[in-house]
Each structure stands twice: as C-alpha cells, then as structure tokens.
Amino acid sequence: MTVRSLAAAAVLALTAGLLVPTLAQAATSDTFDPQTITVPRSPQEGEELVHSVTPVGTVSLDMTATQTAYVVSKMRVNSATIRSLFDNEVVCTGPGGWTKNMVIGENVYDVHSGSPLQDVTLYTRFLVHPGVAGRVTCIANVRGNSLSNESAATYRLVSGYIMFADTSVTNATDGQPVQSSVPVGPHYGVYGLDAGLRVQRQPVLDYFTLPSTVRGLNVVGDVELMICRPKTACNKDGTAMVKFTLVINQWKSDGTLCRTDDSLKVTHDVPYWVHHKYVPLNKADFAVSTAPGCVPRFNAYVKAEWLRGQTAGIQGTAHNLSDTSGSSAKHSSDMSHAYVLPY
C-alpha cells in the first residue's frame, strides 16, 4: 500500500480528528493486553514527583541509513478510581546511541465522575530516522500518577497497539524527514496563551523541499494544551477556550506564495482539571500545485488563538522523566510536534 493510500484511508478513519493507521501497512506491530495500571499518589509538599512506568508493547525494525519509518501507539483507558495522569509514551532506541522519544498525555477522570473524560484515547505518533543502519526498537509505556496526594489509583488499559504504520516515508530533498518538535517554552516551560499573549504558532515546520515526484502531503500537528500554566492566577472551577488552525503553505520559485490551506480548525473549551489536553490536527490530502511558478517547497504550522478564560500554554519537551518505575535514570520526551507523510 502506498503512502497516498494510507492518507486516503485515514480520511475515512478519522474520529474526532485522530489518524488511525491502516493495519495492512504495518511492518511490525504489537497489540496491548488489556490490564489494570496502578499509579502512585501525587507528591506532598517537599516530595519529588514519581510516575509509574508500565511497558505494554514493543516493536522493532531493521532500517537502512537513509530510511524513515512512521511509528504509532494508540491507547485507550478508563475506569480510573481517582482522577489521574495518563501518558502514552513511546521510547525508541537505535544504532550508535540514537534515541527518539515522544509522550502525549491527558488526565482521565474517575469512573464515578459522570464525565465523558473518564474514557480517554491517545495517539502518540511520529517519524523515526536514526541516520545509521541498524535495528530500531520502540517501547510503548503507560506513564502516570494519581492526582490525589493521599492515595494511589488504578485505571484500565482497555485496548491499544504500537506499530510501524509505514516503513518507507519519503524524506525531504536534504535526506531528512519532515518533522519538528516544540522545545521547552519561555513561560515556565510552555509557550504562553492569555489575554496579553493571544496567539502562538507552535509547532512549526520550517521551509522544506520535497522531491518533484510528490503529489500530495499528509500533514499532522499534535499539540499538548496546558490549562492554568505555572505561576499564573487560576480559577480551578474555570476553563480556557483556545482555537487551533493547521496552516499549510506551498511556495513559488520566486519566493511568493503559491497556495495556502487553513481549512482545518478546531476550538476546545478545556476545564482546569483536565490540565493538559491532547489536540490532534490532520490534513491528509494537501495536493501539490503544479500551477506556473509553483515548486514543491512548503512550510506549515499550528496557530493557537486564546479566546477566553484561564491562562494556557503549548507544552514543549518534557525533561527529567524516569526511565522506569522508581528509577533514578532520567530521559526527555518531546510533546507537541508536527510532521509530514508525503505521497
């Protein structure tokens, strides 16, 4: 199946903006066993935050030095005994010490809350390109903690999988995959959004050129929205309303705009108790224009607009995450990010 076929199938399979990869595309996959996840309590004053880290699936792929693959982890959880952090983390390692990690998270409400937020599905998906021939291994972890500082909690991993949804993603003409992650932000780790700072453009895919054989782009922007960012006033009974737009541009050889697409928009009004909201954006069918002067040169970004309510922010890379439950060894995982699957 071609990447174009994957993109077309994804359009039909989108649910609430989520790209569901075509199973026939997988080179290697692992379906998670349903299981109960136990997460520790939140720290009390003076204590260090501790996450549980539960490995639930592993995939491996032998790759060439120029190869780019697309890894996707889907997790669905519910039945939380206490409102808790639920992270879908993928940790990839490869030859020569290469690593690439990504984490997407959201708070899952307790089973007695009556909220639809007691059942949460998260996708962690990105491109892997070690740049050296060898085996790449990706592990899917459920990472979390209870949001009570008195009691641990449990929730159910109902279903999910990790898979290489494509093992031959087209690179840009510089030989690199089209992908970018948001770094740590300037406002206590995030890129702030509030009444005085109403717009952020994150994540950003700077200018890139694709081979002339490419006919279209499947563009993904996955954003982590934080509600009540650190060191700001917060009404914990309030919400933050933020509008997101995925913007894609194609350019002409003289540097002027060939075409733009900003048709994909979504607005979320997020309660404080969600704390960080997963916002997936996917334009699966941006066609490359062959109009006079137009060339296969592009850029793209997610525009976040604060509309009202509590302060907010776009989350970047998370640092000092424990490698395993109780481990003193730490690593970093990217959060908000964007990438392109050319076809």
pLDDT tens-digit readout, 87-146: 999 999 999 999 999 999 999 999 999 999 999 999 999 999 999 999 999 999 999 999
Residue 45, pLDDT score? 87
Shortest CA distance to 169 belongs to which of 285, 25, 295, 343? 343
The CA distance from 37 to 206, in Å, is 39
Q: How far does Cα 189 stand from its chain's mean position?
A: 17
Residues 299-324, mean pLDDT to the nearest whole number: 97
The whole-angstrom separation of Cα 320 and Cα 331 is: 5
Average pLDDT over residues 230-235: 95
Q: What is the pLDDT of residues 15-62, one digit of tens each?
A: 334 444 443 333 589 999 999 999 999 999 889 889 999 999 999 999
Class of residue 212 by CB neighbours under 10 A (exposed 0-12, middle 13-18, buried 19+): exposed
Percent of the chain at pLDDT exceeding 90? 88
For 157-192, how does the pLDDT look when each residue is reduced to its tens digit (9 = 90+)?
Answer: 999 999 999 999 999 999 999 999 999 999 999 999
Could you give phi then psi for residue 277, rounded to 5 degrees?
-110, 130
From the centroid of its chain, how far is CA 331?
17
Q: Give me the pLDDT at residue 49, please.
A: 87
Confidence of residue 326 (pLDDT cuts 50, 70, 90): confident
Confidence of residue 260 (pLDDT cuts 50, 70, 90): very high
Q: Among 304, 342, 84, which Cα is nearest to 215's? A: 342
The pLDDT, as a whole number, for residue 48 is 86
Q: What average pLDDT does the segment 63-86 reach? A: 98
pLDDT at 16: 39
Q: Tell me if residue 116 falls in helix, strand or coil.
A: helix
Tell me how far CA of residue 295 lies from CA of 11, 103, 171, 172, 298, in angstroms: 25, 34, 16, 13, 9
Ranges 14-23, 196-205, 334-343: which has the least confidence: 14-23
Report all structural domains of the chain as residue ranges with CATH numbers, in order of start: 1-169 (2.60.120), 170-343 (2.60.120)
For residue 70, pLDDT beyond 50 = yes
pTM of the model: 0.91
Question: Which of 125, 139, 140 has its CA nearest to residue 341?
Answer: 125
Side by side, the strands of the sheet bearing 257-271 are: 199-209, 294-309, 239-252, 257-271
Distance in angstroms (rounded) separating the CA atoms of residues 306 and 199: 6
Nearest CA-CA partner of 63 in 165, 131, 128, 133: 133
**Tokens representing residue 67 in the block:** 């190869």
In this structure, are strands 84-93 and 99-108 parallel, antiparallel, or unpaired?
antiparallel
User: Mean pLDDT, the chain, as a whole number?
Assistant: 92
**What is the phi/psi pair of residue 331, to 5°?**
-150, 175
Q: How far is Cα 142 from Cα 123, in angstroms, rounded to an integer?
A: 12
β partners of residue 86: 106, 144
The predicted structure's pLDDT at residue 8: 39
Which one-letter DSSP state was computed for residue 20? -
